[in-house]
Structures are given as structure tokens and as C-alpha cells.
């Protein structure tokens, strides 16, 4: 595989993750080429809201309970989308190549 840059075309290409691992500790490029972070936030709050809503609805405060359930489901959907986006970014990073001659990056 050769560098896709029309001005380069070098065959000296490497997986970005391997290149990053080969950098010396403390190198600033380690941060530049780091793997994208995992998604922040957890499903715990969403599940907690739904449980709280069910308990509230069962104990008589039906409207507040339904509101809490809806909020919990909505928050769960938001978290789910964040996790999916982060997973996609991390998968793309794992497949990313870097040209050692011109530092061009691409995903084949």
C-alpha cells in the first residue's frame, strides 16, 4: 500500500496505532495520534430514572412517574448514540494509516 498523496506516493506507510505505540514515552505526538476516547456517561442514570419513575407511578404520583420514565428513556437514547459514535471513531482510528514520509493520514 502506498501513500495516497499525489505529491508523495511513498510505500513507507504504517498503521497509525502501531506508529503511535512506537513513539517514545512523553512524545507530544502520542497525544496527537491517540485513540479517540470512549464515550462518557453511563446507562446507570437512565436506568435509575426509569426505576424511580416506575416506583413513583406505582405509589400514586403517576404523572411525575411517567415524566421520570420518559426522561430516563430519552437520556438512555442519548447515551446510546454517544457510545455508538465513539465506537465508530475508535474503529476508524484502529484502521487508520499514516505515511512516514509526509505524515498524510487516511483510512483505506
Residue numbers at the binding site for Zn ion (CB under 5 A): 3, 5, 8, 10, 99, 101-102, 104
Structural contact between residues 16 and 103, judged by C-beta atoms closer than 8 angstroms: no
Is the Cβ of residue 67 or residue 106 nearer to Zn ion in the bound state?
Answer: 106
Is the Cβ of residue 42 or residue 107 nearer to Zn ion in the bound state?
Answer: 107
Smallest distance, Å, CB 31 to Zn ion?
22
CA dist 34 → 18, 29, 64 (Å): 11, 8, 44
To the nearest 10 degrees (0 to 180), the angle between helices 43-58 and 62-94 is 160
Is the Cβ of residue 1 or residue 58 nearer to Zn ion in the bound state?
Answer: 1
Smallest distance, Å, CB 36 to Zn ion?
23
Smallest distance, Å, CB 69 to Zn ion?
54
Measured over the CA atoms of residue 64, residue 65, residue 68 and residue 70, the dihedral's sign is negative
Amino acid at each position: 500500500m502506498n501513500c495516497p498523496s499525489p505529491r508523495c506516493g511513498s510505500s513507507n506507510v504504517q498503521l497509525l496505532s502501531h506508529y503511535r505505540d512506537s513513539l517514545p514515552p512523553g512524545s507530544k505526538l502520542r497525544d496527537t495520534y491517540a485513540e479517540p476516547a470512549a464515550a462518557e456517561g453511563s446507562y446507570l442514570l437512565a436506568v435509575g430514572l426509569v426505576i424511580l419513575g416506575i416506583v413513583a407511578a406505582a405509589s400514586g404520583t403517576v404523572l411525575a412517574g411517567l415524566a421520570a420514565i420518559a426522561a430516563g428513556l430519552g437520556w438512555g437514547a442519548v447515551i446510546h448514540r454517544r457510545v455508538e459514535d465513539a465506537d465508530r471513531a475508535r474503529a476508524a482510528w484502529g484502521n487508520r494509516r499514516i505515511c512516514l514520509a509526509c505524515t498524510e493520514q487516511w483510512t483505506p
